[in-house]
Chain A
Amino acid sequence: MAEEFSIHLKVWRQEGPDQPGKLVDYTLNNVNEHMSFLEMLDVLNEQIVAEGKEDPVEFDYDCREGICGSCNLVINGRAHGPKAMTCTCQLHMRNYSDGDTIVVEPFRAKAFPVIKDLVVDRSAFDRIVEVGGYVSIKTGSAPDANSIPIDKSVADTAFDYATCIGCGACVAACPNSSASLFTGAKLAHLNRLPQGEPERKKRTIAMVEQMEEEGFGDCSNYAECEAVCPKGISISAIAEMRRNYMKAALAGEEV
């Protein structure tokens, strides 16, 4: 069995949405390099429950495989922790050593209110999708359309943008709390495919405006979002979104 080592944690504790929160110190003496970061937090909770003085720390996760986008933590100031292209759930304790201090906080943004401890409400993302992140045009009866042939390179690029898991790290990392990378990725996926093209203008305007309405900030090209995105979504999505938005808005069309 792997050797055990100690870790100091500073964890954000907050009772509820409108309550004040603070960082609370804990020390764990039985961490090993094979543990994932989330397993380490499970161990912390076992310790908290055993001591019986406070509630366990609430944090979100599900798949633990980097696909569901729910394991959202800011670790030592960086969304999803130190490793590129990695979600919190894929981070392992072998990246830390004995005596390290780790600060664990929720994804912070005006549009992502804290529900409890490390859990935030990201339903603002859903509302952005609700206004246009789908194909509503009827594309003919399915069988005779026999899969619209799509150029492989177009399909591959659309696929890359479609891999966004909606985790919100881009928002957490952005000094302006902008949701441009997320929204740009959704748009770049659908606008690119032949079946999504007819609604391009309408979709772009609706989603961009909803993003503003939810209280996300503007994009000032800091590119912090691209650096933390666990799926490697490229900021070209943002440039594309702006181009399309300008074109649609300038055309002044009925949208």
Chain B
Amino acid sequence: MARYGPNEHDVLIVGGGGAGLRAAIAVAETNPELSIAVVSKVYPMRSHTVSAEGGSAAVIKDNDSFDDHAYDTISGGDWLCDQDAVEAFVKEAPKELLQLEHWGCPWSREEDGSIAVRSFGGMTNKRTWFAADKTGFHLLHTMFQTTMKYDPIQRYDEYYVTRLLVDNGRCQGVVAIELATGKIEAIAARSVIMCTGGCGRIFPFTTNGNIKTGDGMAFAYREGVPLKDMEFVQYHPTGLPFTGILITEAARAEGGHLLNKDGYRYLQDYDLGEPKPEPIHRSMELGPRDRLSQAFEKEEEKGRTIEGPYGSYIHLDIQHLGEEIIDRKLPFVRELCLKYENIDPVKEMIPVRPVVHYMMGGIDTDIHGATKLDGLYAAGETACVSINGANRLGSNSLTELLVFGARAGQAAAEFASEQKPFSSALEALATDESRRIEKGFFSENGSNPESIASIRQEMYQAMEKGVGIYRSEDSLERSQEKIQELQERLMNVSIEDHSYTFNTELVAALELSNMLDISEAIIQSALQRTESRGSHQRVNYPDRDDEHFLAHSMAYKSEVGPPKIEYQPVTITRWPPGERVYGH
């Protein structure tokens, strides 16, 4: 198309995970005339969506209803979800999963040929679709292959975005480094969709892969877009000690038990119901993740967990399911245990402990994925719509990528179709950025050079101590100071590798600066929320306080020092705040 320069597009999507690819397809379908760029720091199939195991939630069976799915999501989120967003989400969810099926996604089937669904934590009914325990892989793969049929979609694989191009109050593209050559260039676009995923990597012990450094959140934040509800960090109750590799919730949905060091199903002591041999919805091992991870901490305090070389743990026992069911329904669980722990879950118990897993918070958007900055949209884990509130239910995230990826794609396509002209300042902005990178990281910085590894290590410590499962004012304040100190010390980092091809050290430094900015937003939001809600538990404020905090935290970046936190009301449509009841 002649009207485009080499690096000019209508819609640019940062991220080739589930949200990014779904958005790209939506743009192509909304307006086939638009030129689309998908920019990703790794090959799209290496995006983290690929490792989702358990499944994707959507109402499909006759005994289920949209209202049930909505209520489960809202109560699971401790009433911090925006209910208009949740209502849209549950209604569009089945359409999206069926759409995927039409694109060739091999959903697992029941004997009669209909879609198979499984139970998941916090859900009243079976509504989690799965492709054995490789759901994320098949979901992403199906969309990746589908994007290949649209000519207007152009991929920039292994390009690392370093900032947004914003001029005249409008987002008009990004600056990116082509990793293979080290070339820094502007890629202009009439609208940009951030689909950069979560930021679990700011914690030392996480299920998240190396690439989940929250880059997109940091870019939006630096341009004045608020980060919403950042204090809500999900700990998944069952990670393998040391590696943090996730044992999917499906293991409990199929009937796995959590046992303390005495072999006792301890969840019965935490208001999560009576132990029954069969799994019961919204009860015991099928309670929500925040409550299960909190129960672990209490059990640890009582000295009823098991001490191991990599921290204390409890046992997940699936032996009673038998080899046949384990191999048929949870083959990947067995594979992971054998390969990483040298344990066969058919004959042995699996050691597990809570592990950082998911960010409920993210870039603030409306229900169309639009941010407060013109031309900038966001979807997926990096965004906060919010349907997850204070605690996400397992299997809602994959569906969220599809529903809100599609919505953001459509909205961004409509915005781009207005064909607003590009500012002339874009090239200059890109030149500034490449100078910033070279000056900031390649020059000798003073007499006291810092190492990336040590700053990262200290960030891990600060985050683990300050914003763990239970948080105190004191530790939060100390972590906030630490992060500020680290931000200053990062200025003194000088990179030894000056080569331009695959400079992993440079990328590590840029990612670290993003993670530090996000960390300050998480800590400050946590500090100011003096209540306990969902995954955010404050030691001296054990109760939920709807009077003051039935509101989203909005973190705005400050020139210096911690961010400014404002509050935005939660949208309530049909479900007034109530008590979260599980196990009854």
Whether chains A and B associate is yes
Q: Which residues of B sit under 8 angstroms from A139, Cβ to Cβ? A: 102
- Does A135 lie at the interface of the complex (its beta carbon under 8 Å from any beta carbon of B)? yes
Q: Which residues of A sit under 8 angstroms from B98, Cβ to Cβ? A: 142-143, 145-147
Q: Which of A61-69, A102-110, A175-183, A245-253 contacts B (4 or more CB under 8 A)?
A: A61-69
Q: How far is the CA of A40 from the CA of B16 in the complex (A)?
A: 29
- Does A149 lie at the interface of the complex (its beta carbon under 8 Å from any beta carbon of B)? yes
Whether A55 pairs with B104 at a CB distance below 8 angstroms is no
Q: How far is the CA of A165 from the CA of B51 in the complex (A)?
A: 12
Whether A152 pairs with B111 at a CB distance below 8 angstroms is yes
Nearest to B100 among chain A residues (CB) is A142
Q: A70-B46, A142-B98, A147-B114 are in contact. Are A155 and B103 (CB under 8 A)?
A: no
CB interface residues, B 443-491, toward A, < 8 Å: none
Q: Give chain B nearest CB distance to A75 CB in angstroms.
A: 16
Q: Give chain A nearest CB distance to B181 CB in angstroms.
A: 11
Give chain A's interface secondary structure class.
loop
Whether A126 pairs with B148 at a CB distance below 8 angstroms is yes
Whether A63 pairs with B103 at a CB distance below 8 angstroms is no
Q: Give chain B nearest CB distance to A127 CB in angstroms.
A: 9
Q: Give chain A nearest CB distance to B20 CB in angstroms.
A: 15
Interface residues on chain B, size class: 35 or more
- Does B546 lie at the interface of the complex (its beta carbon under 8 Å from any beta carbon of A)? no
CB interface residues, B 245-261, toward A, < 8 Å: 245
Of listed B51, B112, B245, residue having the most chain A CB within 10 A = B51
Q: Which residues of A sit under 8 angstroms from B102, Cβ to Cβ? A: 135, 139, 142, 145, 195
Whether B45 pairs with A150 at a CB distance below 8 angstroms is no
Q: How far is the CA of A196 from the CA of B146 in the complex (A)?
A: 12
Q: Which residues of B sit under 8 angstroms from A152, Cβ to Cβ? A: 109-113
Whether A159 pairs with B132 at a CB distance below 8 angstroms is yes
Q: Which residues of B sit under 8 angstroms from A196, Cβ to Cβ? A: 104
- Does A224 lie at the interface of the complex (its beta carbon under 8 Å from any beta carbon of B)? no
Neighbour of A92 across the interface among B114, B141, B336, B339, CB < 8 A? B339
- Interface 1/0 per residue, B84-107 and A, CB below 8 Å: 000000000011001101111011
Q: How many residues of A contact B (CB 8 A)?
A: 52
Whether B335 pairs with A136 at a CB distance below 8 angstroms is no
Residues of B within 8 A of A (CB): 42-43, 45-46, 50-51, 60, 94-95, 98-99, 101-104, 106-115, 131-132, 134, 136-138, 141, 145-146, 148-149, 180, 209-211, 245, 335-336, 339, 342, 496-497, 499, 501-502
Q: Which residues of A sit under 8 angstroms from B149, Cβ to Cβ? A: 130, 134, 136
- Does A133 lie at the interface of the complex (its beta carbon under 8 Å from any beta carbon of B)? yes
Neighbour of A67 across the interface among B137, B497, B499, B501, CB < 8 A? B137
- Interface 1/0 per residue, A21-62 and B, CB below 8 Å: 000000000000000000000000000010000010010001
Q: How far is the CA of A148 from the CA of B109 in the complex (A)?
A: 11
Q: Give chain A nearest CB distance to B70 CB in angstroms.
A: 18
Q: How far is the CA of A63 from the CA of B209 in the complex (A)?
A: 6
Q: How far is the CA of A31 from the CA of B244 in the complex (A)?
A: 21
Q: Which residues of B sit under 8 angstroms from A119, Cβ to Cβ? A: 502
